[in-house]
Amino acid sequence: MVLLGTLCYNIKEYRLSKEIAVRLKMTRSSKSTRLYAIKSTYDPKTRKTSSKIVAKLGTAEEVMEREGVDYEGAIAWARAEIAHMTEKEAADAAAITVRLRPAKRIEKGLRRSANAGYLFPMKVLSELGLVGICDDIAAEEGFEYNLGEIACYLVAGRMLSPSSKLATFEWCQGLVEVPSFSEHQVYRALTVLAEHSDAIQAKLYKASERLHRRRTGVLYYDCTNYFFEVEGADSDSDRQYGLSKEHRPNPIVQMGLFVDADGIPLAFSITPGNQNEQTTLKPLERTIIDEFGESMFVVCTDSGLSSKANHLFNTRGGRAFVTVQSIKKMQADLREWALDRKEWRLPGSEAVYDLHEVNEVKMWDRVFYKERWAKDNEGFEQRYVATFSFKYMEYQASIREQQAQRAAAKAAKGAGAVGKRNVNDPARFLSVDHVTAQGELASHAVVSLNESKIAEEARYDGFSCIATSLEDEVSDIIAVNKRRWQIEECFRIMKTEFKARPVYLSRKDRIRGHFLTCFIALLVYRLIDERLNHAFTCEKLLSTLREMNMLELAGEGWVPAYTRDDVTDALHDAFGLRTDYEIVTNRQMGKVLTASRSPKIKSTK
């Protein structure tokens, strides 16, 4: 309401009297003592006071077992719970009146809003103990700055405002709690973080086991690369020209990544962009064995990492491998075996099928298989599991048809449009001839669709193959291989949501420090996603955190300026960092900030 030129904004009214106080009630029996929180209310019409149970706290015996206390301790615990309930009720009923004058201009340079979404990643980082890990490193190195604080804010910034280190520092000034470090300290911190990258990864892995049971029986490994917005490679850096997965002409670095069976990152490494990716697996795997304390696991990779050296390495020490096997690159007899449409089976069935005779509609989404063990010329034996799916066959045929149409469009433009071709380029279906069909020398190149090439590729439609050293059930091996999508999703998140590339750093140590923060950001996201039971997409979760802004009322507290929805409810319930009240007083926000820095994990029971 408007009163004497002053706008009075009543957020809440304060009403708290003795008759609504919460108190403890105990009901004893021969076997147990039941604990209740009750509240008395007064009815002015009947002039009577009645009591009702507002919470059942269980039995004293249950509290004693759960909390590890005696009977008196159980009663003290119950009274403390009731005191907390009373305090919360009083806070909910508190009155705050803010006076805003329509004729008064806002103060210049005064911050009026801040982001609070960063508190949830910061809470996970506190539970992982990143500050403590960095404090130990700082003490060892004699590093005078707050390395842990810098690392945490760099990770939060990578998740919620991915940009340059300067822009991240400026973003930090718009948070509820502004950090104390200065901009120039960030680059020094990257150097120190890079020097201790392996140790930090190992300690984070061990700490993460407190937050989520890590399933390391199967580990997935893959490589990708990240480009730089610069010209020229560096002789003493990882930044080199290599085969870019995005077909860019820029110099690149290469990242190798291990994730567990749930897609939660385990370890990573950065190697020069011109290094063969097959050689990156064993060094990082040795780090996991030596530093992480994991030695018996199955390594699953795609065909690009399927080298004999890697296979041999993972047949020792209780390890095994599952890898995609390119049928086109198999020995001739094995290739014909895999493409033969006879002798196929379905998992869990003894029936044998001829694919020529199978009802395609009825078996549309079923996966057929055949298997055999085979040795190479040097006596190395592995198991091959070939699979076939009519659904996959149609998908591949559809993709090839689209590529053939694009190839025909290129052919119409002449030889100049063909250019350099790779294995997945539609131009692979083109033939460039300098003679006519009659064998005469042509005055110009003749470009045409190579129908025989298209027909040859059609032979492989629907077929795929796995190579493994395991003797497990075929269905289990196929299931392991199917989950490779999780590591591909990890790379997509880092590239699109965290904008890990292009990279603008040049020094080798700072480049590696940058990717360490990207790796930790991915770990934090995956742990949040696990705690929220995978209820929301990555894009939705991160966009919600980015938009969780609070309006600051000087001297009073913080008012949410975001839309409360299912995501914000899930975050608050999972972490207990409540910022979704009509107003969060400065005292309450202080408690939220303290909780976000606490390594204590909120119980999900």
Alpha carbon distance 303, 9 (integer Å): 65
Q: Take residue 530 and report the two structure tokens written for it.
A: 């696990």
Residue 271's DSSP bridge partners are 254
Both structure tokens of 289: 């064995």
Q: Can you give the pLDDT at residue 202?
A: 96
C-alpha 110, offset from chain centre: 36
Q: What pLDDT shows up at residue 13?
A: 34
What distance in Å separates the CA atoms of residue 548 and residue 540, rounded to the nearest whole number?
12
Domain spans, the chain: 18-83, 392-458
What percent of the chain has pLDDT above 70? 91
The contacts of residue 103 (CB under 8 Å, 6+ apart) are: 5
Mode of pairing for the β-strands spanning 113-115 and 97-100: unpaired
pLDDT number for residue 250: 83
Model confidence at 604, pLDDT cuts 50, 70, 90, reads very low
Per-residue pLDDT at 8 exceeds 50: no
**Confidence band, pLDDT 50/70/90 cuts, at residue 528:** very high
- Say whether 504 sits in a helix, a strand or coil: coil
For residue 320, give Cα distances in angstroms to 212, 262, 460: 25, 18, 28
Does pLDDT of 43 surpass 80?
Answer: no
Q: Give the pLDDT mean for 565-585.
A: 95
Q: How confident is the model at residue 1 (pLDDT cuts 50, 70, 90)?
A: very low
Q: CA torsion angle for 324, 329, 331, 336 (degrees, to 10)?
A: 80
Q: What are phi and psi of 237, to 5 degrees?
A: -130, 165
* 182 closest CA partner among 224, 159, 149: 149
Better-predicted residue by pLDDT, 245 or 531: 531
Residue with tokens 């250019």: 419
When the pLDDT of each residue in the chain is averaged and rounded to a whole number, the result is: 88
Tokens linked to 90: 């009083």
Tens-digit pLDDT profile for residues 314-337 = 999 999 999 999 999 999 999 999
pLDDT digits (tens, 9 = 90+) for 249-302: 888 999 999 999 999 999 999 999 899 999 999 999 999 999 999 989 999 999
Burial 487-507 (b: 16+ CB within 10 A, else e): beebbebbbebbebbebebeb
Structure tokens at 3: 């009163």
Is the pLDDT reported for residue 17 higher than 60?
Answer: no
Say yes or no to pLDDT of 7 above 50: no
* pTM, 2 dp: 0.81
CA atoms of 469 and 80, how far apart (whole Å): 58
Among 146, 40, 162, residue whose Cα is nearest residue 522: 162
pLDDT at 5: 37
Local confidence band at 416 (pLDDT 50, 70, 90 cut-offs): low
